[in-house]
């Protein structure tokens, strides 16, 4: 219940700010208006995820889809497309901006592309835990700035934050010290801050599209990659990288967004159903996360995978020059937030 209230509070702050900026009113349709056939208007929502089926983010989406149809009595129908059927994360971002899709789940590219320069949660080796990451979005200065940028730059409201497992480094050899990164070819997504930081630590960052990562590891185009444990498991990365380092270098989130124009066109009852059902689905998924991660780990260990503990502070220290370089290019309010956090 507490998590659900927090999600509602986050949504309310985001939505109020966005509406003040655009002078658009929620409830563009009066719920008393009826369609020509005498029934209340129906909403058919296209929802997309670039993630693989079975990952916790997509399981949350499936539960959200079911809850909405049930609570709305069929008034609202969500068609959920998974496994990048409608395109990559970057393509989904463009699609939600134009309204081609209505709801999307975005991960670290939310911070790097949708609110560029404002969201420090996209910087590896900074935040210690998921609660500290979520605190960024409720900060009285940074939170509204992120919400405003999401609306102004991408025409979306941020309506939900879902916990995500921390990112772990995988490789074909054991890596216990950041000194061993020297010359290591590591696959990274197209996120500039990640390229900067891994390179500053001595690695050779190589941008590879996620669907091509398994093949790139198999053919030794790259030696290593980094991802949350559910992605490592669902995409069988452990078959080509038998060592998983518990670096936990980035505590990420799933950012659930809705096209602002579409949301504003919905009546208040339909809007509330979406908000409530997503909050409930997120609360359920967050509760399942640790159990699922433990099962993934057990399954991979049974297949011969070795999990390696590392000195996280030593890795953070090695990443500090890169962190400073990334921060120098960010908005001053993001810089101040990170500097205060790391000093405290």
> Which CATH number applies to 2-165+252-291?
3.40.190.170
Specify the CATH class of 167-250+297-343 in words.
alpha beta
The three-state (H, E, C) secondary structure of 169-233, written as one string: EEECCCCCCHHHHCCCEEEECCCHHHHHHHHHCCCEEEECCHHHHHHHHHCCCCCEEEEEHHHHH
**Tens digit of pLDDT per residue, the chain (344 long)?**
434 444 444 444 444 334 333 323 333 333 333 433 446 548 999 999 999 898 999 999 999 999 999 999 999 999 999 999 999 999 999 999 999 999 999 998 899 999 999 999 999 999 999 999 999 999 999 999 999 999 999 999 999 999 999 999 999 999 999 999 999 999 999 999 999 999 999 999 999 998 899 999 999 999 999 999 999 999 999 999 999 999 999 999 999 999 999 999 999 999 999 999 999 999 999 999 999 999 999 999 999 999 999 999 999 999 999 999 999 999 999 999 999 999 98
Q: Supply the DSSP symbol for 120.
A: G
Q: What is the DSSP string of 70-107?
A: HHTTTSEEEEEE-TTTT--HHHHHHHHHHTSSSEEEE-
What is the pLDDT at residue 39? 61
What is the pLDDT at residue 42? 82
Domain with CATH 3.40.190.170 in the chain: 2-165+252-291, 167-250+297-343
Give yes or no for a contact between 241 and 235, defined as CB atoms under 8 angstroms apart: no
Element (H, E) at 153: helix 142-154
- Phi, then psi, of 156 in degrees rounded to 5: -130, 155
Give yes or no for a contact between 159 and 278, defined as CB atoms under 8 angstroms apart: yes
What is the pLDDT at residue 37? 44
Which candidate, 135, 254, 246, 125, places its Cα nearest to that of 194? 125
Q: Which residues contact 99 (CB under 8 A, 6 or more apart)?
A: 155, 259, 261, 262
């Amino acid at each position: 219940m507490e998590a659900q209230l927090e999600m509602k509070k986050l949504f309310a702050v985001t939505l109020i700010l966005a509406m003040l900026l655009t002078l658009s009113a929620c409830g563009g349709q009066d719920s008393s208006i009826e369609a020509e056939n005498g029934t209340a208007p129906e909403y058919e929502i296209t929802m997309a995820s670039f993630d693989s089926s079975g990952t916790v983010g997509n399981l949350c989406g499936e539960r959200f889809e079911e809850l909405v149809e049930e609570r709305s009595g069929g008034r609202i129908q969500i068609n959920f497309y998974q496994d990048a059927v409608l395109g990559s994360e970057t393509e989904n971002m463009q699609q939600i901006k134009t309204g081609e899709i209505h709801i999307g789940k975005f991960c670290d590219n939310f911070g790097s592309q949708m609110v560029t320069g404002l969201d420090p949660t996209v910087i590896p080796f900074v935040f210690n835990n998921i609660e500290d990451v979520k605190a960024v979005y409720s900060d009285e200065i940074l939170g509204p700035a992120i919400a405003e940028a999401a609306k102004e730059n991408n025409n979306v409201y941020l309506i939900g934050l879902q916990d995500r497992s921390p990112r772990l480094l995988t490789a074909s050899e054991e890596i216990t010290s950041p000194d061993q990164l020297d010359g290591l070819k590591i696959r990274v997504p197209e996120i500039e801050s990640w390229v900067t930081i891994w390179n500053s630590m001595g690695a050779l960052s190589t941008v590879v599209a996620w669907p091509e990562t398994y093949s790139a590891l198999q053919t030794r185009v790259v030696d290593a990659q980094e991802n949350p444990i559910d992605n490592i498991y669902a995409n069988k990365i452990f078959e080509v990288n038998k060592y998983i380092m518990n670096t936990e270098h980035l505590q990420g989130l799933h950012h659930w967004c809705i096209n602002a124009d579409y949301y504003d066109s919905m009546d208040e009852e339909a809007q509330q159903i979406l908000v409530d059902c997503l909050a409930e689905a997120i609360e359920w998924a967050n509760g399942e996360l640790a159990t699922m991660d433990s099962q993934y780990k057990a399954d991979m260990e049974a297949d011969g995978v070795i999990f390696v503990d590392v000195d996280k502070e030593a890795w953070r220290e090695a990443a500090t020059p890169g962190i400073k370089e990334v921060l120098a290019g960010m908005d001053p309010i993001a810089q101040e937030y990170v500097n205060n956090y790391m000093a405290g």
